[in-house]
Structure 1
């Protein structure tokens, strides 16, 4: 029997292959460490965190009909995520992300998310065919959307009646894809979650702090934004009102997935009735706990 989701997570669902070492690294370094393969991708990371906060997320993405895809879906279902609406492709392989993290941060990463881009709007079919909504009765809940989608598809989403009633929460997949979110800047219900670098790319400038970045994004036409800045203060702006809070200081042991954890914790906090300052503080705490290594992968 199909479960009813509390929130939809649309975007990348793939395997993360992460190499981590306690050593400092530079180009050409060869050091001991640990290599793990875990469920990942922005949509998956957000969904896993939402589940830990007591929500019931459903995934909308593409997963290949290959051994890697079958194993990924088995893992996602074991975590309690709804996978009924995933698009399964006979021709496209399951996507994968590979990264190397060291004591001095993220050293390098490659995202092989070509299947998600190739699938295009096929992943949105459940929002149109009556399973989750229709054009004349669009999905009216929360949607977490990631910037791994093509710019063309994000432009379609910005004006699509299928998203007209949704509480849309949006994050870029990486700084390299941040400018894709320009298509959603004017969306009347979209909340953008970006870091300081991504905010600068969207505004074509550099910012000294998150509050200035948040104000600039609102001035550019964004409905609502949250801007993080690593271990420095983060800010949320809604209209002309900007609030700022500092994350708790922690020893950083991992970085991949931290922004997704922040976004999911913030969404969950608001759905559970916390006000804006409390939601921001809880999201910062969740992200800090994650990067310190104190939460499950």
Structure 2
């Protein structure tokens, strides 16, 4: 089985000044995930490594680079899922954790629960020895200025997403040499969201899903719209009905646009190694390592390749 890792850096109207950093970031994350797979490690290890790379990169809205809520706080959401067992772990509204994806994995492996939220998630992080970091360490100077600038605007979450004010989610999916799939999704949400707002990212079946029998998916876009159609599980439903990975992602995004007028994107990988990166927003940086080349792009219908 040839291993595959696919990553995305969020589907939104990425401005030109962030485009280069966004593409470079997803390429680096794909390489980080694939390096883990090349050593014979699991798909779960690969998606965690790739997502941590994205969380550590201030170009993305996850971990370092996260946006601030209405109170100027950083609240983070993340999920990870193992397609071989259907085990999952998630955190929501967790404060000041640099790598929430690692905390989500600890929830999956060290507790009897599937999700911890808010104060409980932070208490668990402390118990696991995962340090908190000050807000100042996670928020970029650009984010501080944008947050201040937008304080006086009266605009809803969906309208923020549909313009260049909104950053978005990161994620990864992988297939390892043993035929197991896994997924991970992580986000800081949408700037000026209400305190305690949770979007699709940490919700199983919406922001992500993985099952060895059908594939692994990580979603990105307008969270409330993704929740309404349970986008990740919808994509795999279409796979289970006999559609290819690419067609399943396309059809599901089209349905979300038609049914609830929401934009977004998704990456997916199937148990045979088929993969897809599709989106209905202006841009979505993505990259894939499949053993033969590094594939990447950001614009609709765009794909570039480099030697691995």
Same fold flag (TM > 0.5): no
Bigger RCO (CA 8 Å, 6+ sep): 2
Q: What TM-score comes out, normalization by structure 1 length?
A: 0.33
Task: Pick the structure with greater CA Rg.
Answer: 1
